[in-house]
Structure 1
């Protein structure tokens, strides 16, 4: 509360008093929003040939945004916002929202490979819960309609008017899950003034094929429609291998049937060597060669398409109705965690005394010393089908009032299969999400807007939102544990009322007040988690490998084979009031100063429920993995100014955020019971009696879940500086520079979760033991994940106008980031307070530190009347950047940037 009070005082001190130098100047009238909207419509309809030559102009054109839910000039909008048109998105290779990451100050987008889930981070904050129980920290809106599932941002981006990225709490106007920012994707609308179209083809390396098309047609004076589509297919960019030596061969038997037997004394990787016992235990000591996979259908390939059909109807001069249907389909192999070969390279190999006896690299694990390779025994699959229906009714009641009704529906179907351990150990494991997994949601919102030249303008509204998810999938460790999830009805229901008004104290000074009341309920009805393992008869024991591989691949889909389950019926409700206080001041017609103090809120959540009875003691076990809401209060002070007679735009913002109960998700043991099962030795081998039969006894068994904790407190501050400059005729330079400082400011004592087996030299059972104080750690003082202290981003381009011959425009983009941490654990900060068995000097080979990096994109574009031809390249320096992950089995692994890609893009307008 003290921090919140301090923020309020700072904001009030900035607002009052206004310095005399800022006294109102009646001659510098602020353009009305109606005038801004008229100019935006005029700019939108300008001749296409003029648009292509815009780089030769000597001033920077105005950009219209809807960051305040109404159309305003970007440079007169008192919010930190970045906006990109479709031409810029195409140039920078933006195919989905995740490709925006480097283009926006203090934003990062990673992908969790299990369900190909994008995780958006902004100003150091993200949501790590990728399941149906989690909500993003950055809201995504498509034509004003909220898209709840994080996989929705994978939908291909094409034929858009612009994409707006808002930073800072947006809860007052945009609502749920916008605690740290919001992304608005505004699709291109049908036009009444012309028939036009566009066709684009783009071949590239890795056998990439891309096609885009758009056609716009006015049917009558009151109705027009627009059709747009995009198709993309590409081979995998990693070297893939099928492993015939892993325990479970059911999924790849036909792919490795002809694998050659190799000499077990030479020419094999550690992967093959570590699995020798599997064959030996079954009377077959042979080790077989890895089999190269077909890149066209291996992990990290691409096979997707999308199309949109939209219509606009002008019922009267004052009433307009927009309706669009969009479909997206991804039918690829998905992703798999890769080993960070660069981080591993040069790690000392030590003997039992700690003496260095050699150096290691990825070639001791895989065929090559390279990050971009995978050795698996489960073919990847990622199927995602999303259908959207969006509508907007706008009624200009009079010159002062506008009524808006928005409605939208989204339906997702999803399936996936992923190899989990990548041959790094003999335990094997895979994750599957089966048909029946998906979600559907709808949203209705009404608004009444009063924006004109009056002294007081406002927007008030109300909305309702409903989402229902279903999850059917399982984790299979063929040597032991199985878990199947059947969650047919997890639902969220939310409603909100909101209002925000701006009062003009004079022609220059404006005060803004906003308030939103939101209410949300989450409920699980009929959810079940089925649990089993080989020792209780669910599957053959580890010594019965041949019996396992005779079973069908869908054997674990059947709920009836599991001896027990947990009922996950659960419910939680939360309500909250968000508010916003702001002031903006026009120093002159070219310079805006603004500040605001605002709050953000993300509802708490429900989780899996564990109800069990300890079979030995009879003790009842009941654990519900619910978590508390997340709240933030943010102060932002900013400026926007035009300089050099309109040839330079500068935007800057300082922000300070106080977070309470930040949500953090991870896998861990939430409770413990006991089971009667086969006893194992320190090497995890089953102990046999004198007759060669397994020895049974009571063992402690964890109840493991993917659950969310709350980080008690964190503080974030930073500065964002954006620039756009026309330094000479035909030239343009634009980009940003940022500074960011994040810290967990309150005691957060939790169990160590970053590869505890390797870091502490203990067994898995010891790593989950609740009484093992060795693993207890206080993360106070740690930095938040993917929060580099500094970032620099610059794009430079120049248009050489060749008269009738056309225009040539080379461009290049340089992006640099300081080092940061990939996780909240900040491993190297804890070498003194935790008893790591890894030598201090060896920590850097497996920790969560991401070193500073630089990427380079570039291309040359040629314009000739209706044609555009471009040669492009992304990540030209072939930088390997890890975006997500941690460590397991003693190696750093996760998701990574694509290697160098290049190609040709040809577009024709008609």
Structure 2
């Protein structure tokens, strides 16, 4: 285990103690106020946030609104150890908690941070980017969740709980937000009880804004990259015929027609790019979620949680490298369908021995046709034309079937001591049937193809033994060929668990210690090629498929699961007569077979997403969350973390510079593999050593009875790495290239957000003015897609945004 840095821990603790001292001085004025009690379901039982023996951050809709949380990425800075990057091609947030996440947002694998909406697992994290509106609450669980939640997760879990239809009365609300970049956002909800036993609720939201990336001269004009065009509507019902039975059912429709994001050289409001293809995105998700609870006479409760998701995407995205090296691509036809069934049986919450058992089934099917068009420009910086005009990645049937059984119990040893334990057995089956990566050369008459051209006429992918050449050496003039055959069908099983001891030190302070293990299923990757000289037969295809499933020979077209074990010591307490709430967690996580993803370009020119298991990594950390009632009118909040997250064993290749990457990382010293480098000791991506935020709001009462509330939030992060190579600065003259700073790193930064809210005396409406990222700080969220000799470009967090928001409620 690595040595934890005591100076950083002392810094974080001293900041908390200083706030405690400040709150002590203001205790008298805050005596009549109380910190809001938030209930969570992180243990699959309803408990208050302070009573929950887990590292979990939770918000209700009111707090989400105060922090201007519209999408998941807006939580960054408010949740300890949470970092979010943006994927351009998928228009998807890539979520990391405590340095654990995944940059692969495709159908080939799972995110390391699992997403659930009303208990239904969202396999494709694009769903997590949906508008967060009309919620009862949002929970972020940190650390491996290997027992209770539907799909095992090594990084953590995000639970979103939508607001349920209520029987106790009519209510409604509406909100409009106007801002720069021509932003227009609207939300509305109405709840209608039809009878004493049945109610329905309708909620809707839209959010639109212009793009932030200007066009350089010569660009193809269209809608700017970085635009937002989101819309969602939800219809839900609640039925409770008696005290024993209740049934919730909801349908949600979500669309994203924004342009997506594109990497640029600079951030803030000064972004520009040569654009060959304006962004296009048409993403639709339809979801049905339901839960039925039945309580037996003996107080046993049986719950069924079911879900169905159907999504489709068409998109187009510019993949520019430089003015002479560019291409475009996107989803021609990408669909996803998933079904979940879960049964839970538990006893009453007041029992001395609480127990729960459950069964979880999840099945997903994906079809992907993703095309990339390579214009006939100079290839690799020389005068040689690009040999591949078009690449198409066709996975007609990729899927997963997962079955799990789980059990967890808590036993009250005494009034103050409790012990908990849980186990989960998971069996995962993945498959790729008929998946092919196909390359096409320049064909006469297609040199000047335009975006949205019907490329299907170039090839016949369904006649794999006739219409396509089996490899690039057997092509006829103008013919396409199969670069890789991806058929595979791996299967994995794993038992994970948790053990925890809890102690109520006083009536206001609880401490706990736990050990938990996590498991993330293996992932599919591109398979093997045909090496023969023809003719290509079914026997040849069968031999390739056998190689794709041969793990012993190292030719498998999949990557093994990753596992981790986390030890955590936590404290949750109320101090100073309830005016100070302080949560802390000290943890150490040992990682094995960490899944890492990067882009590589093969000798044939194919741009492939390759995965590997990175050996071992260790993550040590400290997290603190605090909320203080300062005097009679102020509230101070703090969230921060210290991470020491590094690879212990990681031998790999530099996807940009090959053997020349030894300038940044030492060679592994294997003569037969000169490109093999040693990344051991490097920092994990998106795991800053220190990050945190402090926010303060002050309630000012006016003579009219109205309230004015100014609010400020300052967020800070130390340097962040975007690539496990940790390259940093590119030296002058390296491969005859100019110096470039921070090619895969964001330096330490501070960001300031301000708002001013007005609430009239009658309290049924409010108005707010806000400015986020006040200083327009350029903050990278990820590195862009560049070849080694290109000028580095990056994905960026939002520039300065400002606006006004008006809300009204009625009942």
Pick aligned residue for 2:84 from 105, 109, 117: 109
Within the candidate set 159, 163, 171, 2:146 is matched to: 171
Shift of 1:863: 0.9
Q: Which moved more, 1:567-576 or 1:70-79?
A: 567-576
Q: 1:399 to 1:200 in 2, by over 3 A?
A: farther
What aligned pairs does 1:805-820 form with structure 2 within 5 A after superposition? 805-820=705-720
- SS where residue 899 of structure 1 aligns? coil
Structure 1 residue aligned with 2:424: 516
Please tell me whether the aligned partners of residues 488 and 557 of structure 2 are also in contact (alpha carbons under 8 angstroms).
no
Q: Give the deviation of 1:94 after TM superposition.
A: 1.2
CA distance in 2, matches of 1:132, 1:528: 14
The separation in 1 between residues aligned to 2:87 and 2:694, in whole angstroms, is 28
The match for 2:341 among 420, 430, 444 is 444
8 Å CA contact 1:759–1:836 kept in 2: the answer is no
Distance 1:400 1:835, change over 3 A: farther
2:97 is aligned to 122
Show the counterpart of 1:866: 764
Residue 407 of structure 2 aligns with which residue?
A: 499
SS at match of 1:163: strand
Give the match for residue 666 of structure 2.
none
How do 1:207-286 and structure 2 match up within 5 A?
A: 207-241=182-216, 243=218, 252=220
Provide the residue aligned with 2:124 in structure 1.
149
CA distance, structure 2, for counterparts of residue 341 and residue 208 of structure 1: 19
Which residue of structure 1 aligns with residue 511 of structure 2? 593
State the match for 1:822 in structure 2.
Answer: 722
Offset at residue 126 of structure 1 (A): 1.1
Over 3 Å counting, the alpha-carbon distance change for 1:223 and 1:210 in structure 2 is same
The normalised TM-score by structure 2 is: 0.86
Check whether the contact 1:668–1:705 (CA below 8 A) recurs between aligned residues. yes
Q: Kindly report the root-mean-square deviation, in angstroms, between the aligned alpha carbons of the 2 structures.
A: 2.8
Shift of 1:432: 1.9
| Shift in CA distance, 63/399, structure 1 to aligned 2, threshold 3 Å | farther
Name the CA distance, whole Å, in 2 between partners of 1:609 and 1:207: 46
CA gap 1:242/1:459 in 2 versus in 1, 3 angstroms: farther
Q: Is 1:776 the equivalent of 2:673?
A: no
In the alignment, which residue of structure 2 is the partner of 1:195?
Answer: 170
Q: CA deviation at 1:896?
A: 0.3
Give the equivalent residue in structure 2 for 1:48: none
CA offsets per residue over residues 229-283 of structure 1, 9 Å max, x none? 1011111122124626xxxxxxx4xxxxxxxxxxxxxxxxxxxxxxxxxxxxxxx
Higher helix share: 1
Unaligned 5+ residue runs, structure 2? 4-29, 377-385, 461-477, 548-554, 664-669
Match for residue 372 of structure 1? 271
Question: Cα gap change, 1:908/1:303 in structure 2, threshold over 3 Å: closer, same or farther?
Answer: same
Q: 1:143 to 1:183 in 2, by over 3 A?
A: same
* Range that drifts further, 729-738 or 461-470: 729-738
Q: Match of 1:677?
A: none
In 2: Cα distance, 1:121 partner to 1:152 partner: 16
Q: 1:844–1:509: structure 2 CA closer, same or farther, 3 Å change rule? A: farther
**Aligned equivalent of 2:777:** 879
Task: For 1:418 and 1:648, locate their aligned partners in 2 and report how far apart those are by CA, in whole Å.
Answer: 49
Aligned residue for 1:184, secondary structure, equals: strand
Q: TM-score, normalization: structure 1?
A: 0.77
Instruction: Report what 1:396 is aligned to.
Output: 295
- Find 1:433's aligned residue among 327, 331, 345: 331
Q: Is the contact between residue 813 and residue 857 of structure 1 (CA under 8 Å) also seen in structure 2?
A: yes
Q: Deviations over 1:557-579 (max 9, x none)?
A: 64337532243221110000001
Q: Give the C-alpha shift of residue 135 in structure 1.
A: 1.0
1:902 to 786, 802, 807: 802
In the alignment, structure 1 residue 667 sits paired with structure 2 residue 599: yes
In the alignment, the residues of structure 2 paired with residue 214 and residue 551 of structure 1 have an alpha-carbon distance, to the nearest angstrom, of: 40
- Counterpart check, 1:745 vs 2:677: no
User: Which runs of 5 or more residues in structure 1 are unaligned?
Assistant: 7-54, 245-251, 253-292, 343-369, 673-700, 762-769
Question: Is the 1:718–1:738 Cα contact (8 Å) retained in structure 2?
Answer: yes
In 1, are the aligned partners of 2:331 and 2:371 still within 8 Å (CA)? yes
Matched, 1:421 2:320: yes
1:901 CA displacement? 0.5
In structure 1, how many angstroms separate the alpha carbons of the residues matched to 2:773 and 2:412?
Answer: 48
Greater shift in the superposed pair: 155-164 or 521-530: 521-530
Check the 8 A contact 1:484/1:557 in 2, yes or no: no
Alpha-carbon offset, residue 315 of structure 1: 2.1
- Does 1:564 find its partner at 2:481? yes
How far is the alpha carbon of 1:221 from its aligned partner? 0.1
Instruction: Measure the CA separation in 2 of the matches of 1:124 and 1:218.
Output: 45
| 1:871 match: secondary structure | strand
Match of residue 743 from structure 2: 847
1:656 and 2:588 aligned? yes
Partner of 1:322: 248
What's the offset of the Cα at 1:107? Answer: 0.6
Contact 1:135–1:177 under 8 Å retained in 2: no
Residue 792 of structure 2: aligned partner:
892
- Does the aligned pair in 2 maintain the 1:166–1:183 contact within 8 Å? yes
Distance 2:594 2:90 in 1: 23
Cα distance in 2 for residues equivalent to 1:852 and 1:107: 16
Deviations 1:712-743 (A, max 9, x none): 00000100010011011121111212110011
**2: distance between equivalents of 1:528 and 1:771?**
33
CA distance, structure 1, for counterparts of residue 726 and residue 214 of structure 2: 31
C-alpha contact 1:862 1:869 (8 A) present in aligned 2: yes
Counterpart of 2:33?
58
**Alpha-carbon deviation of 1:817?**
0.5
Q: State the distance in 2 between where 1:903 and 1:551 align.
A: 36
Check the 8 A contact 1:760/1:835 in 2, yes or no.
no
Q: Distance in 1 between matches of 2:451 and 2:509?
A: 71
Partner deviation per Cα, 1:36-91 (whole Å, 9 max, x = no partner)? xxxxxxxxxxxxxxxxxxx9961112211101011001101100000111112122
Find out whether 1:478 has 2:375 as its counterpart: yes
Determine whether 1:856 maps to 2:752.
yes
Pick the structure with greater CA Rg.
1
> Alignment partner for residue 569 of structure 2, among 611, 615, 637?
637
Instruction: Tell me how far 1:202 sits from its aligned partner.
Output: 1.0
